[in-house]
Structures are given as C-alpha cells and as structure tokens.
Amino acid sequence: MEGTEKKEIPTTPDSSIERDEEKTSELLTEAKHQKNKKKKEDKEIEELKKKLEEKEKEAKENYDRLLRTAADFENYKKRAAREKEDWTKFANEDLIRAILPFIDNLERAVNHAQKVVDTGVLIEGVRLTLQQLLQALNKFGLSSFESVGKPFDPALHEAMLVVETDKHEPNQVVEEFQKGYLLND
C-alpha cells in the first residue's frame, strides 16, 4: 500500500456543526417560507370563501327578487284581466243610463195612446222622443247618414237588390230599407 495513500480530510467537530447549522438554517428558512406561503394560501382561501358566500347571498337575493317580480307580474295580469272584464261589462253603462228615459217616455206614449183619440198628439210625442234619443246617441258617437241619391259605397251600404231606372245614375242608391249609422266616425 505504498503507492496509494489515502488522504484524509480532517473533520473537526466544528465543521460538521457548521454544516448542520447551515442545513438547519436552510430548512428553517424553507419551513418559514412554506409556512408563509401556506398562510397566504389560507388567507386567499378565506377571502375566496367570503366572496363565494357574498355571491351566494347576492344570488339568493336576486332569485327572491325574481320570484317576487314574477308573482307581482302574475298579479298584475290577473288584475288587468279583471279590470278589462269589468270595463267590458260596464262600458255601455253611460249609454244605457242615457237611453232609459226614452224607454220610459215610449212606455208612457203607448199607455197614453190607449186613452187618447187624437193621434196627432201621440205622433208628436213619439217624434220628440225619437229626436231626443238620436241626440243622446249622438253624444256617444252615433250619427246617421243619408244614402238615397248618393253613389253606392260598399263600405257604408249593403246592397239588397239592383234596380235599373231612367231617373237615377248607375250605382246610385235609389231606396233605403234601413237607415245607416256610423259610430265614432
């Protein structure tokens, strides 16, 4: 063993302690770093949990608001339908109230006609009642129009028959079977 000599590295207890201290220091630093990293991650997790809770609460409030709005809308639709039904049911109330006095007057005329011999008075009473009725209906937008002697208009007239005559132009109304009326026109 003469040619190969082992060279021993002197190890002193101080150098191994220093290495252990360095390793320990590195491990402590790494542990602190990991601990700080974990704290930071835990803090982020807590913040995310809080945000999630807030968003869940907000979503629940929005859902509740949506349900209330939907219920309000359904109630509105029902109320509108009821109001429309009531309006339709009573839309002609004013018209009917305006016509009732004429019914009373016509009933009086019929009762009076049975007692009176002079028909001129009866006819005048019925004529006045008719005139008042037409005035009342006119307030509600009803108006009559003349047809005889006017050109035939399919939007206004309903042809019952066609008559050829030398006295009238072609397509001219020559006779009226029923008076024509316009509403709100």
Bigger pLDDT: 21 or 73?
A: 73
Q: With cut-offs at 50, 70 and 90, classify the pLDDT of residue 10.
A: low
Please check whether residues 32 and 72 belong to one and the same domain.
yes
Q: Under a CB-based contact definition with an 8 Å cutoff, are residues 133 and 99 in contact? A: yes
Query: What is the number of domains present in the chain?
Result: 3
pLDDT score, position 13: 57
Helix (H, G, I), strand (E, B) or coil at 117: coil
pLDDT score, position 157: 85
Please check whether residues 83 and 96 belong to one and the same domain.
no
Q: Has residue 21 been placed in a domain? A: no
What is the spatial distance between Cα 176 and Cα 150, in angstroms, rounded to a whole number?
Answer: 11
Contacts of 140 (CB under 8 A, 6+ apart): 94, 95, 98
Please check whether residues 84 and 126 belong to one and the same domain.
no
pLDDT score, position 11: 54
Q: Has residue 170 been placed in a domain? A: yes
Please check whether residues 35 and 84 belong to one and the same domain.
yes
pTM of the model: 0.47
- % residues pLDDT > 90 (the chain): 24
